[in-house]
Amino acid sequence: MSLVVLIRHAHSQANAAGILSGRRPNIALSEKGRTQAQELVTRLGQLKVKEMRISPLQRCGETIDPWLSTKSRIRTVEDHGITEVDYGTWSGRTLRSLSREKLWKIVQENPSRVFFPDGEGMANMQARAIESMHSGLSSKGIGAVVMVSHGDVIKALVAANLGMRLDDFQRIIIDPASITVFDFSSKEPRLLLLNDSHTKIGELGIASTKKRLLVGGGSGPSIKKKSK
């Protein structure tokens, strides 16, 4: 099974303040976010990983560091392809103030047309994130490709994997510290988990489950029985 595990960074200080931080430096996790990062240690458990790709921004590293500290020999890549959107002059402003901008409506309804002032376009962001995902999938080894990134980046990847238009990606919700999982072992990627904040994926057996037959909707993920 070829799995891609998408993890949004945990709750940050900017999230708590209602600020669009973008790529501004020194944005750490909030107290809530640090708790979420610790919970990921249990939620990820013994998930077998062939490559860990992490956005270079501080909040992403702080999200996955507690889990990584329990492991050895995990191949990690600082991946600028899955860094936050460059929001340009919007970075550092409150969401409340941004909602009054004319561009806001386009961001919500036609994001494929958006190019942030002095920043980048949403379509450009999606393209670089897709390239990083496929680079991870093509890497050698056995196990999942884990990508620790940002809300809009993960939403753009989900939309691409499901064959949705980028203009529909605002219909997707990706919460802080949520886990989304795709199976790439078939012709088309299949969604196993979306915006999940509770499942202990290391106990689901999803990294070793054989190709699923989906007649009747599928039987659901198989759970490994613990030996007595």
pLDDT at 210 over 60: no
127-147 pLDDT tens trace: 999 999 999 999 999 999 999
Q: Give SS3 for 151.
A: helix
Look at phi and psi of residue 90 and say left if phi exceeds 0, alpha if psi is from -120 to 50, else beta: alpha
**Helices and strands counted in the chain (H then E):** 7, 8
The secondary structure of 180-212 as a DSSP string is: EEEE-SSSS-EEEEEEESS--GGGTTTTTPPPP
What does DSSP assign to residue 148? E
- Given a cut of 50, is residue 96 above it in pLDDT? yes
Structural domains in the chain, CATH included, are: 3-10+26-82+124-217 (3.40.50.1240)
Burial of 152 (0-12, 13-18, 19+ CB in 10 A): buried
Backbone angles phi, psi at 52, to 5 degrees: -110, 115
Kindly report the number of other CB atoms within 10 A of residue 86's CB atom.
16
Q: Which amino acid is at 179?
A: I
Percent of the chain with pLDDT over 70: 88
Which residues on neighbouring strands pair with residue 221, listed in sequence order? none
Asked whether residue 206 carries a pLDDT value surpassing 90, the answer given is no
**φ, ψ at 137 (rounded to 5°):** -65, -30
Q: What is the pLDDT of residues 36-51, one digit of tens each?
A: 999 999 999 999 999 9
Q: What is the mean pLDDT of residues 73-88?
A: 97
Region 142-156: mean pLDDT is 97
d(CA 145, CA 52): 6
Residue 219: per-residue pLDDT: 54
Please say if the pLDDT value at position 209 is more than 50: no
How confident is the model over 7-35, as a mean pLDDT? Answer: 98
Q: How confident is residue 202, by pLDDT bands cut at 50, 70 and 90?
A: confident
Where does the pLDDT of residue 212 fall: very low under 50, low under 70, confident under 90, or very high at 90 and above?
low
For residue 223, what pLDDT is reported? 46
Q: What average pLDDT score do residues 207-213 get? A: 49
